[in-house]
Amino acid sequence: MSQDPDTRLPQRLARLARARLELPRGGQLTDGNRIRLLSTGLEYFPELLRSIESARRSIHLETYLYEDDPIGREVTQALLRAADRGAQVRLIVDGFGGGEHARKMARELPPQGVQIRIYRTERWWRLQRRLFRRLHRKIAVIDEIRAFVGGINIIAEPANEPGPRLDFAVECEGPIVSPIALSADRLWWTLSLPSLTEAVAPFPRRLGLRTQQPVRGDVRAALLLRDNLLHRRTIERAYLEALASARRDVLIASAYFIPGRRLRAALLDAARRGVRVRLLLQGRLEHVLQFYAQHALYGQLVSAGVEVYLYTRSFLHAKAAVIDDDWATVGSSNLDPYSLLLAREANVLVLDTALTSALRARLEQGIAESIQFGPEDLLRRSRLTRVFDWIAYGIMRVATQIVAQDRNY
């Protein structure tokens, strides 16, 4: 016999409260993990699909974009096959990023066994500040023993480009899977609470009471979240602390790069201390305001000795960094106001020389395929273009202040 909806509500609230209390605020490091770097969708999707096909108990998938293209359809079919095997399958798609396809899946997938939630389905014409607070993180949790975190959406690689999008994800096993799964549960129950008339089954275990994951390796790692409740500045603080302690080398890849004053000051200070600071940024025009706004910052950075490289071989979508020999992060968070002040984001922080070396090698390859932006490039930009750079920067800054009501940007 199914429970009455009114009796389910207190249980849901209790589960949600436990999840919020047990999820570390600042990114707690755990030992004994195995972390594997996956570069571009060409490496990521085969591993994701293989894990979905092997799932026996549960699958949780979150994404910003979920396209109706060959990759999207392949992932959907894999989820449906998992549901047919008896696995509990949950899917969360951002309402703006997923668009009409997400709403179509919300109608078609539940009868076939895939539970789905749309994160904020408001339309663009409803001018509310919270409309801009989107689900931007990309997470997959398989049987609560394996997780994927990164910047790669459910979208096929562009067909007419010389290479895939430059982007990364990490495959995680070990104790770090528990906070990843817990964050997924918390968001799922948050989105499920308004649906009082719908039976929302828990995953096949008690929420918040997980068994310890078996030790898989020797990597120290932490989950870094950004939201508007308990983790407002976790990702930003991790960058600031690492930059302050950097001794030799900083290499950051960010598809959208308009850091606030704290991060800019930390980058400039590192460069002035003699640390080599390199930025691998988007060199192609994708979003007009974003593209020109970040150009407004290049003069200050280059003048302080920061090396700026613009990636043009294909689209840069990476959100990753390495600092010195044993600090690395991969995830969904860019260094811009949208990621650092508005969106829900998830990064993995790794303290490990092997993974840091592997990520550095891939970023170095990206730099080799890029064009360096130097002082002469700044001089070649016309006065009108530079004025437009600062107008674009001002528009983005003011807009973000209005939406986020934060004085640091």
Model confidence over 4-16: pLDDT tens digits? Answer: 444 444 454 444 4
pLDDT for the residue numbered 81: 98
Q: What is the pLDDT of residue 292?
A: 85
Q: For 216-247, what is each residue's pLDDT tens digit?
A: 689 999 999 998 878 889 999 999 999 999 99
Residue 275 neighbours by CB distance under 10 Å: 19
Q: Which pLDDT score, from 0 to 100, does residue 20 have?
A: 40
The pLDDT of residue 213 is 52
The confidence score (pLDDT) of residue 369 equals 95
Catalytic residue positions? Answer: 136, 138, 143, 317, 319, 324
Spans in the chain with pLDDT lower than 50: 1-10, 12-24, 125, 127, 196-199, 206-212, 406-409
Per-residue pLDDT, 194 = 62
The pLDDT value given to residue 1: 38
